[in-house]
């Protein structure tokens, strides 16, 4: 198979099987095994398609170039022609949006392939890349957010990989991005698109030769914008009490960044500046402008936290980022109250401001969450502050209750159910923030986790099933004045009897995103908090098991988040847990098709580790029962790397030598005593030790006087020796006068042969 027989015949003037051709080139080895002539024909065909006037052929040519450029021969011989033809295509004013995006993505892939190859960079990339960057910057248009975000993502990659070539276009690109961020359309964009714009703006600050200075200058500009917004809020809308006012002023002043002279000069040339913010309390729409401004500045700070620095060393002001989060969380009428001279008689204005302030508080949690994500354990120095911030954001309300002991009315704070359910999707960032904190923290150091318990109660309210039943019941209630007048039925309305008859149709399904985030939070809490109350634990178990069964009945299996929580129920048991959930969880696993879960199987059937046993050769005790071998030598014999037969032979020789030497020594001592005794018998002057008498018993050993024991093989019976020592202490001296008493002695006197020399 070759390109000539499979690919080229299908590339006609109007190809109909482009998908098959592209898939074949990408998934097979045709590009590797083809000849240079075939690759040249295929490359020229792709260039002809790009230069065509037909949009379909242009799109086909772009994809062909993107796939075949991975071949080194193709990119070396035709890389310049590819980029030239694609550059002409994107500069055509009548090109469609789809073809424009495909062509720009193809050029980007060529740039990434060529990067790091000096010859290709010099001959192909350097001459064409400035024109490509210039075209992309000029065609940034707010009218088409999708096309704009695609171009911005390409430019961001070029900034990080070709910063030197991008440097002349940095000013024009910064102006374009500032115009985009200041526009009203930017507020309604998707979060992903907003994030791409902000990341590109932050990455642009690293293009300058003095990248660290430029980064600090842009960050200082954003901090100054934050300062002006906070001053306006705490001077015109909120009134901190006397104790907190000085702290708020100090926090605002701490947002200033001190710059050197060179940085100050660059700061004067910085283009980042926003129009002054004004709030008209008679126009409720202006409160939305306040939130939009804070959301933009918060996203910019998050961009400075998360954007890679490309090995650039910068001054990372973690403390100032935490101060911004603290100020955002303090924007609350429940904490500080409204200004005294602010006449807020309109209830709608109060609700609108409270709603805006709650959104601003969660922007502070969003900022701190990203800080914890990036820094991990390095952010735990602010852990106590983070716990206080968490409790400030949880919606609470004060009620009056009667103390049963004193019968006095006291104030009590409880969870604000209405606000929790109203802001339940906004509260997901709070759950994520606390989950990341617990992951970064060593749970052994967590002593006060009361804020966690409040969050567990809050999540139980967030995941409660909502229903329209209460709304329908309200419509059936009589009027307040007692009259029960019939209202004229509208022609366009129908009765609610169908809904009332089937209560399940009135239930509101819980959002998948909400369920997923709550399950992840429960998984982290079960792993790190061992002492949930019985009520809280029961609510968590009920929600998780119910979610698992619903998922099984609808999809036939359970998600990884549910599986993780179920496993944590078993592995990290709570101190207040009354029931064992292992059988229920195993039943859920079997119904979901995950009955081979190794973790739960191990808990059901504990298995001990296999002992490291080694088979060693049995030691022949019958053969060597007379050998006294030390325990250390036996242990050495048990080692598998030692030859046991060789070891036994060495030990036998060693013991034999020791016994032989000992027997020889004892034999010599005995012979010496025998001679002395013989002399005493002759002279009848046998003397014994009056105090100590030593008796030694030896078995009969037949050894020739002419042959020493070590020169003759000693049998096992001859090696056996038993020595008994009996010590008798006497106070009288005993003399032997009668030679017949010698027969009563325990000492056996061997036969004595006297030769002529002895008689003389």
Most confident of 387-396, 406-415, 600-609: 387-396
- The whole-number average pLDDT for the span 345-362 is 84
* SS3 category, 607: coil
Q: Where are the beta strands (DSSP E) in 532-641?
A: none
- What is residue 125's DSSP assignment? I
In the predicted structure, residue 743 carries a pLDDT above the cut 50: no
Q: What is the pLDDT of residue 158?
A: 92
Q: What is the pLDDT of residue 708?
A: 43
Tokens 């126009």 identify what position? 283
**pLDDT tens, 207-261?**
887 888 888 888 988 999 999 999 999 888 888 877 788 888 888 888 887 665 4
CB-based burial, 149-172: b 16+ in 10 Å, e otherwise: bbbbbbbbebbeebbebbeebbee
Look at the alpha carbons of 520, 521, 527, 531 in this order and tell me if their dihedral is positive or negative: negative
- The whole-number average pLDDT for the span 447-476 is 73
Per the rule left: phi > 0, alpha: psi between -120 and 50, beta: everything else, 616 is beta
In the predicted structure, residue 265 carries a pLDDT above the cut 80: no
Q: What is the pLDDT of residue 118?
A: 87
Q: Residue 468 phi/psi, 5° resolution?
A: -90, 10
User: Which helix (H) or strand (E) element contains residue 685?
Assistant: none
CB-based burial, 55-91: b 16+ in 10 Å, e otherwise: eebbbbbbbbbbbbbebeebbeebbbbbbbbbbebbe
Tokens of 287: 């409160």
Over the chain, what is the mean pLDDT?
Answer: 77
DSSP codes, 316-357: --HHHHHHHHHHHHT--HHHH-B-TT-----HHHHHHHHHHH
| Cα–Cα distance, 705 to 664 (Å, whole number) | 11
- The whole-number average pLDDT for the span 749-759 is 48
| Cα–Cα distance, 73 to 31 (Å, whole number) | 10
Task: List Cβ neighbours of 518 (8 Å cut-off, separation of 6 or more).
Answer: 431, 459, 462, 463, 543
- What is residue 53's DSSP assignment? S
DSSP codes, 425-437: TTTHHHHHHHHHH
Q: What residues pair up with 122 in beta bridges, in sequence order?
A: none
End-to-end CA, the chain: 122
CB 463 within 8 A of CB 518: yes
Nearest Cα to 435, choosing from 544, 363, 528, 570? 528
Q: What is the pLDDT of residue 414?
A: 86
Q: What is the pLDDT of residue 294?
A: 94
CB 207 within 8 A of CB 170: yes
- The whole-number average pLDDT for the span 156-185 is 90
**pLDDT tens, 562-580?**
989 998 888 888 888 877 8
- What is residue 410's DSSP assignment? E
Tokens of 484: 């029960």
CB 49 within 8 A of CB 64: yes
* SS3 category, 624: coil
Angle, helix 450-462 to helix 428-440, in steps of 10 degrees: 140
In the predicted structure, residue 634 carries a pLDDT above the cut 90: no
| Cα–Cα distance, 547 to 551 (Å, whole number) | 6
Burial class (CB in 10 A: 0-12, 13-18, 19+), 355: middle
Tokens 């490309």 identify what position? 310
CB 155 within 8 A of CB 105: no
Check residues 693 and 454 and name the one with the higher pLDDT: 454
Q: What is the pLDDT of residue 648?
A: 61
In the predicted structure, residue 327 carries a pLDDT above the cut 90: yes
Torsion of CA 255, 261, 267, 268, to 10 degrees: 130
Q: What is the pLDDT of residue 58?
A: 92
**What confidence tier does 478 reach under pLDDT thresholds 50, 70, 90?**
low
CB 331 within 8 A of CB 296: no
Nearest Cα to 333, choosing from 350, 319, 318, 316? 350
As a whole number of Å, the CA-based R_g of the chain is: 47
Task: List Cβ neighbours of 182 (8 Å cut-off, separation of 6 or more).
Answer: 274, 275
DSSP codes, 692-747: -------------SSS-GGGSPPPHHHH-----------SS------GGGGGG-SS
**What confidence tier does 610 reach under pLDDT thresholds 50, 70, 90?**
low
For the ranges 254-258, 409-413, 707-711, the lowest mean pLDDT is seen at 707-711
Tokens of 284: 């409720």
- On the CB side of 90, CA atoms within 13 Å amount to 28
**pLDDT tens, 364-389?**
999 999 999 998 888 888 888 998 99
In the predicted structure, residue 340 carries a pLDDT above the cut 80: no
Tokens of 112: 């990434």
- The whole-number average pLDDT for the span 446-469 is 78
Task: List Cβ neighbours of 65 (8 Å cut-off, separation of 6 or more).
Answer: 43, 46, 47, 50, 82, 86, 106, 110
Give Cα 302 to chain centroid, integer Å: 20
Per-state percent for the chain, helix, strand, coil, to nearest 5? 65, 5, 35
| Cα–Cα distance, 507 to 731 (Å, whole number) | 113
* Statement: the pTM of the whole predicted model exceeds 0.85: no
| Cα–Cα distance, 372 to 622 (Å, whole number) | 73
| Cα–Cα distance, 613 to 631 (Å, whole number) | 20
Nearest Cα to 427, choosing from 460, 462, 398, 456? 462
Q: What is the pLDDT of residue 467?
A: 58
Q: What residues pair up with 238 in beta bridges, in sequence order?
A: 338
């Amino acid at each position: 198979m070759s390109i000539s027989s499979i690919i080229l015949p299908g590339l006609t003037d109007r190809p109909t099987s482009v998908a098959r051709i592209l898939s074949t080139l990408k998934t097979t080895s045709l590009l590797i095994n083809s000849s240079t002539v075939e690759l040249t024909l295929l490359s020229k065909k792709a260039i002809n398609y790009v230069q065509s006037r037909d949009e379909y052929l242009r799109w086909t040519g772009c994809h062909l170039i993107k796939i075949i450029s991975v071949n080194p021969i193709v990119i070396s011989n035709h890389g310049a022609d590819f980029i030239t033809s694609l550059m002409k295509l994107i500069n055509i004013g009548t090109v469609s949006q789809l073809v424009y995006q495909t062509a720009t993505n193809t050029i980007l892939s060529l740039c990434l392939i060529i990067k790091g190859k000096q010859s290709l960079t010099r001959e192909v990339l350097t001459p064409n890349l400035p024109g490509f960057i210039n075209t992309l910057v000029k065609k940034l248009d707010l009218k088409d957010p999708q096309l704009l975000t695609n171009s911005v993502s390409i430019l961001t990659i070029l900034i990080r990989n070709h910063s030197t070539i991008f440097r002349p276009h940095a000013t024009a690109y910064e102006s374009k991005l500032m115009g985009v961020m200041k526009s009203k359309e930017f507020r309604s964009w998707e979060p992903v698109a907003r994030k791409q714009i902000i990341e590109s703006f932050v990455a642009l600050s690293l293009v300058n030769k003095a990248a660290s200075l430029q980064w600090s200058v842009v960050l200082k500009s954003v901090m100054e914008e934050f300062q002006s917004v906070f001053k306006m809020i705490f001077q015109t809308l909120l009134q901190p009490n006397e104790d907190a006012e000085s702290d708020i002023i100090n926090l605002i002043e701490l947002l200033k960044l001190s710059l050197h002279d060179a940085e100050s000069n660059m700061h004067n040339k910085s283009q980042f500046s926003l129009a002054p913010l004004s709030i008209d309390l008679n126009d409720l729409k202006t409160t939305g402008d306040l939130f939009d401004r804070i959301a933009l500045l918060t996203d910019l700070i998050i961009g400075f936290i998360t954007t890679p620095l490309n090995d650039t060393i910068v001054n990372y002001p973690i403390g100032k980022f935490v101060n911004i989060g603290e100020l955002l969380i303090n924007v609350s009428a429940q904490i500080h109250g409204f200004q005294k001279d602010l006449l807020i008689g309109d209830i709608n204005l109060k609700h609108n401001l409270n709603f805006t302030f709650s959104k601003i508080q969660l922007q502070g949690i969003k900022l701190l969450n990203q800080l914890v994500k990036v820094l991990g354990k390095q952010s735990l120095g602010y852990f106590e502050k983070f716990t206080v911030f968490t409790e400030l954001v949880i919606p609470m309300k004060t009620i009056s209750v009667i103390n049963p002991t004193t019968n006095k009315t006291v104030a009590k704070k409880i969870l604000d159910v209405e606000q929790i359910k109203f802001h339940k999707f906004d509260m997901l960032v709070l759950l994520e923030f606390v989950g990341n904190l617990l992951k970064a923290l060593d749970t052994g150091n967590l002593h006060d986790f009361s804020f966690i318990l409040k969050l567990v109660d809050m999540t139980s309210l967030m995941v409660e099933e909502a229903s329209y039943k209460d709304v329908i019941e309200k419509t059936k209630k009589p009027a307040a004045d007692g009259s029960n007048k019939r209202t004229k039925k509208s022609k366009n309305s129908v009765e609610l009897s169908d809904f009332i008859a089937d209560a399940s149709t009135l239930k509101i399904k819980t959002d998948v995103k909400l369920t997923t985030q709550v399950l992840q939070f429960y998984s982290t809490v079960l792993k790190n908090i061992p002492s949930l109350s019985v009520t809280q634990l029961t609510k968590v178990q009920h929600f998780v098991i119910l979610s698992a069964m619903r998922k099984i009945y609808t999809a036939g299996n359970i998600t990884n988040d549910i599986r993780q929580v179920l496993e944590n129920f078993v592995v990290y048991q709570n101190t207040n847990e009354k029931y064992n959930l292992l059988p229920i969880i195993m039943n859920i696993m079997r119904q979901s098709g995950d009955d081979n879960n190794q973790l739960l199987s191990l808990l059901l059937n504990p298995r001990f580790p296999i002992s490291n046993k080694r088979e060693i050769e049995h030691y022949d005790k019958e053969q060597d029962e007379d050998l006294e071998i030390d325990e250390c030598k036996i242990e050495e014999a048990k080692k598998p790397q030692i030859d046991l037969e060789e070891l036994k032979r060495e030990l036998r020789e060693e013991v034999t030598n020791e016994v032989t030497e000992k027997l020889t020594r004892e034999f010599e001592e005995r012979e010496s005593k025998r001679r002395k005794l013989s002399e005493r018998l002759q002279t009848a002057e046998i003397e014994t030790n009056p105090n100590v008498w030593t008796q030694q018993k030896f078995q009969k050993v037949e050894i020739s006087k002419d042959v020493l024991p070590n020169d003759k093989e000693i049998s096992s019976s001859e090696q056996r020796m038993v020595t008994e020592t009996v010590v008798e202490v006497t106070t009288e001296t005993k003399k032997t006068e009668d030679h017949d008493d010698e027969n009563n002695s325990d000492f056996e006197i061997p036969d004595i042969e006297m030769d002529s020399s002895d008689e003389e």
